[in-house]
Amino acid sequence: MKSQDFYMEQTDSSLVKSLIVSNYFDTWLNIVYGYTNKNFVIYVDLYCGPGEYENSKKSTPALIMDKLNSKEALMKKAKNKLLFWFNDSNPILTKKLTECLQTYGLENIKFDKPSVPCNPMTVFITNYELPSVEIETLIRRLDFPILAFLDPWGYKGISKELIDMIVNKPYSDCIFFFNYNRIRPAIENENVIEHVQKILGSEGLKNVKERLMMATTQYQKEIIILDEIIKYFSNNYRRYVVPFRFLTYTTQKQRTSHYIIFVTKNSTAQKVMKEIMSKLCSDTHELHFSYIPPNPQLSFLGIDQSDESKEKIKKRLLQTYAGKELSFKELYAKEGYYNVYTVDQYFDILKDLEIEGKVVFSLPPTKKGNDRKLSADNLYKMGKVKFV
């Protein structure tokens, strides 16, 4: 449980974490509103806090409300379908959150578990402590798209079973935050093995322990742990896992403090989240943020592939797709499981291959029959790539 002291002052990392979630919320609501035939969609925050810090800086719930208030079209969609479920085990924090939400004009606030039928823009507030059988039961019963955010104090309460309950639903995604500094020592601690297995799985934990024996640096150990987490939550690379690493500086060196992890089945969703994260990576506050690629080829001997160069990507593309033609959108979706690049960055890589005569682009003509401009956006929406 996060104490009230945690919310005294917002840190840079807390701000970036909230921006990742609130920026993605915008896209998610637009996507699900257009595709789902369900009567409702729901945003779920299982460690919600008070909505703002004591220094008046806004946390995730308030930033999401700001998103809705700043975009008339988005608010219109919300008023037709959107529900909220905020949970925090500390009732003092949920009381403060209620007061915060009321300043946004939200009046239909129920201190009860989520249930339908109800009116759109209903807010449900609960005080369960995770892990919670009640939470899991409620998640299972929700029969409509979910965007869930889990932000525990350490890592307790995060489990693949819970993430699967969420992400396996149509048009549903999950973002979770965990403390890497607590996971690392817990791997060797038999007293907390049950909690660690929920993040790594039994086989993953076994693999981590074996691989860590071969590692000689802290960075190698970190990549090994991350590799197994990605493999586990991606269902062995059958869905997308997008990690974002938070670094802090100690006296003489930088070290990883936390990770935020995005899990989705949707290729468009992973595209959007990579764009959101890549923009925040350029931040130059005291804390430094790194974008970490999921990569099924990671191993102790290939540890540098976590920062895969453009040349290595080119080589893999030419080997994998030799003689094939496919849409850029399909190509990016296939490659999205394995590397860090956004659509724009991937387009630049392919342009290099075009100059080398190794790929050919094709775009349909405009309505007037003219050649269509070659751009990352046009190629993604309607273009094809042929590997020669």
Could you tell me the residue ranges of all domains in the chain? 4-304, 310-387
Intervals of the chain under pLDDT 70: 1-6, 249-252, 282-309, 339-340
Dig out the tokens for 128 from the structure.
Answer: 């369960």
Q: Please state the length of the chain.
A: 388
**Multiple choice CATH, 4-304, 3.40.220.10, 3.40.50.970, 3.40.50.150, 3.40.109.10:** 3.40.50.150
Residue 91: per-residue pLDDT? 96
Residue 58 is given by DSSP the state B
Residue 298: per-residue pLDDT? 36
Question: Which pLDDT tens digit goes with each residue over 266-308?
Answer: 999 999 998 998 888 754 333 345 655 444 443 322 333 334 5
The one-letter amino acid at 83: L
Label residues 94-132 b or e (16+ Cβ within 10 Å = b): bebbbebbeebebeebeeebbeeeeeebbbbbbebebbb
Residue 163: per-residue pLDDT? 96
What is the distance between the alpha carbons of residues 164 and 151, in angstroms, rounded to a whole number?
Answer: 17
226 membership: H or E segment, kind and range: helix 218-233
Residue 283: per-residue pLDDT? 40
Going by C-beta distance under 8 Å and a sequence separation of 6 or more, which residues neighbour residue 134? 113, 128
Residue 296: per-residue pLDDT? 41
Q: How close are the terminal C-alpha atoms of the chain, in Å? A: 56
What is the distance between the alpha carbons of residues 95 and 4, in angstroms, rounded to a whole number?
Answer: 12
